[in-house]
C-alpha cells in the first residue's frame, strides 16, 4: 500500500533516450506525484552531469516511465536492486548506470552525512535532533556545484573567489527553463523565457508551497482560498539570520535573539549593484562607489510591471511601454487592507469592501516606531511606549551632489553644511496655470514666475527673497 498520509512517494523509474535507446534505472523519494517529479524536477541520481544536463536541454529526446510505487524507501531500493540484477546494468552497455544498487541487511535508510561540532563527518538519521535543530550541517551545506570554461566541475561556496570572479559558474548557469507547452513540460532557453514575446508559463507559475493543518508541505495555487486560513506559507512568519556561530539559519520572526538584534539578517546593510558595463556586485550599502554613482543598485530606475496578459517583469522606468501606459506598475491601484479579524488582503483601491468599510488600510491610524535596538514596529497612533521613537523623527529625504535620493538625519554634518540638500518638493502653479512640483529653492519662486499653491508654505518664499 502506498503511503498517502504524509504525501511521501517512493518510486522506481526508467529513463530512456529514444534516439540512442540508452536507459537508466533508479529509485527516488518525493513529496509530489512521481509523474510531476521525474523529468520535470528530478533527472536521476547519476553522477554523470552531462547526462542530467542533456535531459534538461533536450527533453524531447527522453521518455520517462514510472515502473513501480512503494510505501517505503527500502521497498523501492529492493525493487531497484532486483531490476539492476535482472538487466546487469553495471556491465550492460545499453544502460547508463555505472554500478548496481545493493541493499543488503545492514544498509541504512533515512540517513545523511553531516559535519559535527569538530568538523568530523558522521552518518546520522535525518530525524536526529542535532540535524533537525541545525546544529549539524550536511557536508554539502552552503556549497554549489560549479563548472569552469574547461568543463571541470567543483563544489564550492558562493563566497569562493573563483565563483565571485566568474572563473566558475553554477552548473545551471544559462540552463533552460521548464515550461508547459500544450500541456507538456518542455525546456526553453532563458533568453527565450524572459523575452517579452514569450507566451509560455513556468511549470510552477501561479503555484506556491504551504503547510496544511496537519503540517504536510503541499503545492497549491497562489489564489487558493485556504491560504491564510487552513494553509500557511512555508516561510510564514519566518526569516533568515546569521547566528553567533556565523551559521545561516531560518528562525521565527518573534525569536528574542532576532528582536533584540543579536541575530541579524544576512543581507542587512548589503546591496546588489551593477556598474556601467552591466557587471553585478554584492557590496555594503555604504560603499563610496554607490554614493559616487559609479555603482547603482539593481532596483535603481527599475519598476516591476504587469502587462496586458497578466505577466510581471522588471523594466526601466523610462521604458516606452511603461511611459505610454501599456505597462502598469504592479502596485498601481492596489493596497494592503485588513478586516476586523486581522486578516490581511491585497486588493484594488476601489474594491467594494474598501468602499463599504469592511476592509481598511493596514496603515490606517498606525505609525512606525523603533526601539533602542533599531527594530521597527507598527503601533496605534495614539499609543506612546517608553523607549520607542518615531521612525521619521529627525529624518528627511535628501539629495547628494550626484543626484542620489535617500533619507538622512537632519543632524548629518553634510546636510548642515549644504553638501546634502532637502528633497522636499512643493506644489506650485506655472504661468500657464499648470500644477507642478519644484524644490523649495527653485529661483522661479523668488522671481514670481511660479506661484506656491499651499498658502501655509508661503513662508518658504521669504527665505529666498
3-state secondary structure of 145: strand
What percentage of residues in the chain have a pLDDT greater than 70? 88
- Note whether 398 and 410 are within 8 A (CB): no
The three grid cell numbers given for residue 22, joined into one nine-digit string = 540508452
Window from 99-108, 294-303, 332-341 with minimum mean pLDDT: 99-108
CA distances from 278 to 225, 295, 296, 297, 428 (A): 42, 10, 10, 11, 39
Pair 154, 27: CB distance under 8 Å:
no
Which tens digits make up the pLDDT trace of 77-88? 889 888 988 888
Is residue 39 scored above 70 in pLDDT?
yes
CA 230 to chain centre: 24
pLDDT value for 33: 87
Distances (CA, A) of 358 to 174, 270, 331, 343, 353: 48, 40, 21, 12, 5
Q: E-strand spans in 31-163?
A: 62-70, 111-115, 121-125, 137-138, 143-148, 153-157
The C-alpha cell that represents 127 in the structure block:
530525524
- Can you tell me the distance from the alpha carbon of 213 to that of 407, in angstroms, rounded to the nearest whole number? 43
Domains of the chain with bracketed CATH:
1-105 (3.40.1440.10), 334-389 (no CATH), 395-462 (no CATH)
Q: In what order do the strands lie in the sheet with 184-188?
A: 184-188, 177-181, 201-202
What local confidence, expressed as pLDDT, does residue 11 receive?
94
- Cβ atoms of 209 and 233 within 8 Å: the answer is yes
**162 to each of 46, 147, 154, 223, 294, how far by Cα in Å?**
26, 10, 10, 42, 24
Element spanning 2, H or E:
none
pLDDT tens column, 212-264: 887 777 888 888 888 878 888 888 888 888 888 777 788 888 888 887 878 88
pLDDT of residue 63: 92
> Rounded to an integer, what distance in angstroms lies between the CA atom of residue 358 and that of residue 190?
44
Q: How far apart are CA 390 and CA 145, in angstroms?
A: 46
131 has a pLDDT exceeding 70: yes
Nearest residue to 75 (alpha-carbon basis) of 162, 165, 3, 180: 3
pLDDT bin (cut points 50, 70, 90) of residue 175 is: low
CB 74 within 8 A of CB 101: no
- Give this prediction's pTM: 0.36
pLDDT per residue as tens digits for the range 381-413: 777 777 777 777 788 888 777 666 778 888 888
Instruction: Give the model's pLDDT for residue 289.
Output: 86
Question: Which of these, 38, 88, 85, lies nearest to 66 by C-alpha position?
Answer: 38
Lowest mean pLDDT among 52-61, 231-240, 375-384: 375-384
Confidence of residue 25 (pLDDT cuts 50, 70, 90): very high
Q: Is the pLDDT of residue 67 over 90?
A: yes
Answer yes or no: is pLDDT of 4 > 60. Answer: no
Answer whether residue 104 shows pLDDT above 60.
no
Cα separations in angstroms, 221 against 84, 181, 226 = 39, 19, 10
C-alpha cell at 160: 569562493
CA distance 318 to 332: 17
- Specify the pLDDT at position 26: 92
Average model confidence (pLDDT) for the chain? 79
Strands lying side by side in the sheet with 232-233: 217-221, 207-211, 232-233
Amino acid at each position: 500500500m502506498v503511503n498517502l498520509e504524509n504525501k511521501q512517494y517512493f518510486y522506481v523509474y526508467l529513463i530512456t533516450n529514444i534516439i540512442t535507446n540508452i536507459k537508466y534505472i533508479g529509485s527516488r523519494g518525493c513529496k509530489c506525484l512521481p509523474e510531476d517529479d521525474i523529468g520535470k524536477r528530478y533527472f536521476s541520481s547519476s553522477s554523470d552531469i552531462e547526462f542530467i544536463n542533456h535531459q534538461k536541454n533536450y527533453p524531447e529526446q527522453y521518455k520517462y516511465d514510472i515502473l513501480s510505487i512503494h510505501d517505503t524507501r527500502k521497498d523501492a531500493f529492493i525493487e531497484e536492486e532486483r531490476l539492476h540484477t535482472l538487466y546487469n546494468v553495471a556491465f550492460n552497455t545499453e544502460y547508463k548506470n555505472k554500478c548496481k544498487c545493493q541493499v543488503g541487511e545492514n544498509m541504512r535508510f533515512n540517513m545523511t552525512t553531516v559535519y559535527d561540532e569538530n568538523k568530523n563527518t558522521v552518518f546520522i538519521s535525518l530525524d536526529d535532533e542535532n540535524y533537525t535543530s541545525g546544529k549539524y550541517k550536511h557536508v554539502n551545506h552552503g556549497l554549489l556545484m560549479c563548472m569552469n570554461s574547461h568543463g571541470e566541475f567543483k563544489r564550492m561556496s558562493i563566497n569562493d573567489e573563483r565563483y565571485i570572479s566568474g572563473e566558475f559558474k553554477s552548473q545551471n548557469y544559462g540552463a533552460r527553463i521548464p515550461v508547459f507547452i500544450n500541456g507538456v513540460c518542455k525546456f526553453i532557453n532563458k533568453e527565450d523565457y524572459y523575452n517579452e514575446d514569450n507566451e509560455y508559463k513556468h511549470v510552477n507559475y501561479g503555484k506556491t508551497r504551504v503547510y496544511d493543518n496537519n503540517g504536510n508541505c503541499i503545492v497549491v495555487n497562489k489564489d487558493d482560498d485556504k491560504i491564510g486560513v487552513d494553509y500557511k506559507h512555508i516561510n510564514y512568519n519566518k526569516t533568515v539570520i546569521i547566528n553567533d556561530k556565523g551559521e545561516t539559519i531560518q528562525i521565527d520572526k518573534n525569536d528574542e535573539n532576532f528582536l533584540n538584534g543579536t541575530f541579524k539578517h544576512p543581507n542587512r546593510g548589503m546591496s546588489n549593484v551593477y556598474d556601467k558595463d552591466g557587471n553585478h556586485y554584492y557590496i555594503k550599502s555604504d560603499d563610496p562607489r554607490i554614493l559616487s554613482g559609479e555603482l547603482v543598485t539593481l532596483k535603481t530606475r527599475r519598476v516591476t510591471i504587469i502587462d496586458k496578459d497578466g505577466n510581471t517583469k522588471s523594466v526601466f522606468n523610462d521604458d516606452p511601454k511603461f511611459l505610454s501606459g501599456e505597462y502598469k506598475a504592479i502596485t498601481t491601484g492596489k493596497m494592503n487592507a485588513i478586516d476586523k479579524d486581522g486578516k490581511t488582503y491585497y486588493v484594488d483601491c476601489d474594491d467594494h469592501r474598501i468602499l463599504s468599510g469592511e476592509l481598511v488600510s493596514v496603515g490606517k491610524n498606525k505609525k512606525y516606531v523603533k526601539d533602542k535596538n533599531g527594530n521597527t514596529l507598527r503601533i496605534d497612533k495614539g499609543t506612546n511606549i517608553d523607549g520607542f521613537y518615531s521612525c521619521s523623527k529627525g529624518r528627511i529625504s535628501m539629495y547628494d551632489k550626484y543626484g542620489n535620493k535617500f533619507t538622512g538625519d537632519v543632524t548629518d554634518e553634510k546636510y548642515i553644511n549644504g553638501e546634502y540638500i532637502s528633497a522636499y518638493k512643493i506644489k506650485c502653479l506655472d504661468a500657464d496655470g499648470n500644477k507642478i512640483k519644484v524644490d523649495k529653492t527653485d529661483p522661479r519662486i523668488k522671481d514670481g514666475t511660479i506661484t506656491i499653491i499651499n498658502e501655509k508654505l508661503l513662508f518658504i518664499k521669504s527665505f529666498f527673497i
